[in-house]
Amino acid sequence: MNNDTVTVVIPTLQKNKAVLYNLIDILSEDNTVEEIIVIDNSLEGIELHNPKLNIITPNTNMYVNPSWNMGVKMAKSKIVALFNDDISIPKSFCSNIIQQMKPDMGIIGISSDSILAIDDFSGNPQNTNPVVIRTNYMDNYYGIALFFYKQIYIQIPDEMKIVYGDVWLFNNLQKSGKQNYKITNQILYHIGSLSSGDKKYNKICKNDAKIFKKLYVKWYHRIFSKEETWYGWKFRILGITFVIKKKNTRRYCNE
C-alpha cells in the first residue's frame, strides 16, 4: 500500500467560483491530500478557510506554467498533482490514483474517454475505481489533471506561459526513459474551458507553441522524425509535417 500524500496545485482565474470551491472541498475531504496550493491569478482573493488550503496571490497574473513551477517547488508532499480549476472529481479520487503510483513511474494524466464535457456545474461524478494504464502519447484533455512524484518534475521554461506545459513534461519524461500513464475507468466532469479558452489569450498561446517547437524540436527532427499522438502518427520529413490519422478521432485546433 502506498502511504505517500499529495500536494494539489490549482492555478485559477476564478471564472467559476462554485466549481473551484467545490473542487477544493472534495480535495480537502481526501485523507491523502496533505495540502492544496491555489494560485489566484485573478488577484481577487479567495474567501475560504481550510487547514489544508494555502492561497497564493501574486502581484500579477503568473499564468499557468509558471504557477505550476512555483507550486511544485513549494509542495510539501512526495507526490504532486496539477489540477485545472474547471473540473469536478469524485470523492477519494486522489487516494485511488496514489494507491497505484510507484516512484519509477513517469507522469499520469487523464484519458480522453474519462472526460465528460458539461456546460454547467451540477455536482460530482460517482467513484468508479479508476485504473492507471500505460500510454505512449497524450490524449486530448490529458493535462487537466496530472500526477507525478515531485523528484521527477522537469521545470517548464519560463517563456512558456499558458499551454504546452503538459506536453513539455510528458515528452521530456518519456525522453528520459520514464513510462507515462493515463487514468481510465473514471469519469471527470469538465465544465467548459474557463481560463485558457478565453480568446484574449490566443496571442500568448500561439507564442507558447512557437517557443515549444524552438526548444523541443531539434534541427534533425525536421529532417526526419516520427511521433505517435492520440489522433494518429505525425511524421516530419525534410521540413514537411504530415499525419496519418487513427480511426474515429477528431483533431482539435490546439493540438
d(CA 96, CA 100): 7
Element (H, E) at 96: helix 93-98
Residue-averaged pLDDT of the chain = 89
Amino acid 54 reads N
CB atoms closer than 10 angstroms to residue 238: 7
Taking residues 80-99, report their average pLDDT. 97
Instruction: Tell me how far the alpha carbon of residue 173 is from its chain's centroid.
Output: 14
Model pTM score: 0.87
Which range has the worst mean pLDDT, 9-13, 149-153, 250-254?
Answer: 250-254
Instruction: Look at residue 198 in the predicted model and tell me its pLDDT.
Output: 60
Q: Does residue 194 register a pLDDT over 50?
A: no
